[in-house]
């Protein structure tokens, strides 16, 4: 089968959840199918990103496209201009007539069997009349993220802005999900939301995967008994919000019981507010980009996921489990994952409950080891990427059916 995969970015460096999921999915699919990767290219990927695309696709097609850097003058100018648009900013910034032209050309000339639109953002460039089945791969229910942004914003202007973006995203996401032949989500919870809230009958879901060979403890990194670790792209607002909440609300409660407790925050592009945490507190470390997160995870006694905003599923949780580390997470942080509180993860939502769970695990090496071992056994048995990719194509393949010339695919409006 010839798969045409559309995305808004090259995948290297493979350093954030969406890229990680797509990279490993495509590597597994490429072993069984022909994959053409069509992407916008803003010139900000790693210098070897195009050269390494052969790791996950047979052919790479890049369309130049500029997006404003976050917190730049251009970025704020675009936010102001977007006030007069019906599109959410997170989508509008990826509009590209050239991507649409390339998509039409490839479908016309390259005998494409199915088009996969990866994430909601590039979907505005996918026309209705391609003449081949098109599947929307939803890593999140995007509107849910914007709703939670609005809910946690206390400043009136910020609340109003995020609430408006949420309303726009609900409208756009509903329209797009109804427009595609099939929607594949990354959790049963997300697929049920898409069916219930958007009226999409043909919505399915695939499990989250993890590279169980790569994420495995080396046995060579000394344990720091009082260290907690968080990994994630720090230029993603839900991660920034979660760490600020943890540092402000949870960590003081932990330190009241265990004064030696430390926090390590690992992830690219930490904003000034996150860097300031380390500047003000010697027991908080903010690393920025690192070549390999595994030593930091292996060094820590436990892995924390203090997210209050989110959607989809958190790859970082399965990575920590594969590293045999116990995970303490909010329910939102672990949302959509097939995990069991008290067995392979510990869940807590209020600052007080989260701190109590952290203190209990810091004080109990036996419980830490038991939770970590159960989590590792689960992901190794059930969540390797080749199994996830096989399931993905089981769901995508039924959308591939003959389409009469001149007609748009069945199910599209």
* Domain coordinates in residue numbering, the chain: 2-209+387-399, 224-382
- First-to-last C-alpha distance (Å) of the chain: 26
Name the phi and psi angles at 385, rounded to 5: -65, -35
pLDDT in the model for residue 253: 98
2-209+387-399 maps to which CATH number? 3.40.50.2000
Q: What is the pTM of this model?
A: 0.78
* Residue 15, SS3 per DSSP: coil
Going by the DSSP 8-state scheme, the letter that residue 72 receives in this structure is: S
Cis peptide bond upstream of 168, omega within 30: no
Closest CA to 269 of 44, 20, 22, 23: 44
Are 2 and 34 a contacting pair, CB within 8 Å? Answer: yes
Q: Is the pLDDT of residue 76 over 90?
A: no
- In degrees to the nearest 10, what's the CA dihedral of 197, 203, 207, 208? -60
pLDDT, average across residues 12-22: 89
Weakest mean pLDDT among 32-36, 395-399, 402-406: 402-406
Please, which residues have CB within 8 angstroms of residue 253's CB and are 6 or more apart in sequence? 351, 352, 355, 356
Specify the 3-state DSSP secondary structure of 284: strand
pLDDT at 410 over 80: no
d(CA 352, CA 153): 21
For the domain 224-382, what is the CATH superfamily, name and number?
A: Glycogen Phosphorylase B; (3.40.50.2000)
Q: For residue 311, what pLDDT band results from cuts at 50, 70 and 90?
A: low
pLDDT band per the 50, 70, 90 thresholds, residue 292 = very high
SS3 of 359, please? Answer: helix
154-191 residue pLDDT tens: 899 999 999 999 999 999 999 999 999 999 999 899 99
Mean pLDDT of 358-384: 96
Asked if the domains 2-209+387-399 and 224-382 are classified in one and the same CATH topology, the answer is yes
The answer to whether residues 141 and 312 touch, using CB atoms and an 8 Å cutoff, is yes
Q: Mean of the per-residue pLDDT values for the chain?
A: 92
């Amino acid at each position: 089968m010839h798969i045409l995969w559309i995305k808004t970015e090259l995948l290297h460096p493979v350093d954030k959840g969406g890229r990680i999921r797509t990279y490993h999915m495509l590597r597994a699919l490429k072993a069984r199918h022909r994959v053409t990767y069509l992407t916008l290219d803003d010139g900000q990927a790693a210098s070897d990103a195009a050269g390494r695309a052969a790791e996950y696709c047979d052919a790479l097609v890049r369309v130049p496209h500029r997006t404003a850097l976050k917190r730049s003058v251009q970025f704020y100018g675009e936010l102001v201009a977007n006030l007069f648009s019906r599109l959410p900013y997170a989508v509008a910034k990826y509009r590209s007539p050239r991507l649409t032209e390339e998509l039409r050309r490839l479908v016309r000339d390259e005998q494409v069997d199915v088009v996969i639109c990866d994430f909601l953002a590039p979907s505005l460039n996918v026309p209705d009349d391609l003449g081949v089945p098109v599947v929307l791969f939803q890593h999140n229910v995007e509107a849910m993220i914007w709703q939670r942004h609005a809910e946690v914003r206390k400043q009136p202007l910020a609340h109003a802005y995020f609430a408006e973006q949420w309303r726009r995203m609900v409208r756009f996401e509903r329209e797009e999900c109804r427009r595609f032949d099939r929607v594949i989500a990354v959790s049963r919870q997300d697929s049920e939301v898409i069916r219930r809230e958007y009226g999409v009958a043909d919505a399915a879901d695939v499990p989250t995967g993890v590279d169980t060979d790569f994420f495995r403890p080396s046995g060579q990194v000394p344990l720091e008994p009082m260290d907690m670790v968080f990994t994630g792209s720090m230029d993603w607002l839900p991660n920034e919000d979660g760490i600020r909440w943890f540092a402000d609300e949870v960590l003081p409660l932990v330190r009241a019981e265990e004064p030696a407790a430390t926090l390590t925050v690992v992830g690219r592009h930490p904003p000034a507010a996150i860097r300031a945490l380390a500047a003000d507190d010697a027991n908080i470390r903010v690393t920025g980009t690192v070549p390999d997160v595994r030593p930091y995870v292996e060094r820590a006694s436990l892995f924390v996921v203090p997210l209050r905003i989110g959607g989809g599923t958190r790859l970082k949780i399965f990575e920590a489990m594969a590293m045999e580390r116990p995970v303490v997470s909010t329910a939102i942080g672990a949302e959509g994952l097939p995990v069991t509180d008290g067995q392979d993860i510990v869940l807590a939502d209020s600052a007080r409950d989260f701190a109590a769970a952290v203190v209990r695990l810091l004080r109990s090496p036996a419980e830490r080891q038991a939770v970590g071992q159960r989590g590792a056994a689960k992901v190794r048995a059930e969540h390797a990427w080749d199994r996830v990719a096989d399931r993905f194509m089981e769901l995508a393949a039924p959308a591939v059916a003959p389409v009469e010339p001149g007609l748009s695919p069945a199910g599209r409006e």
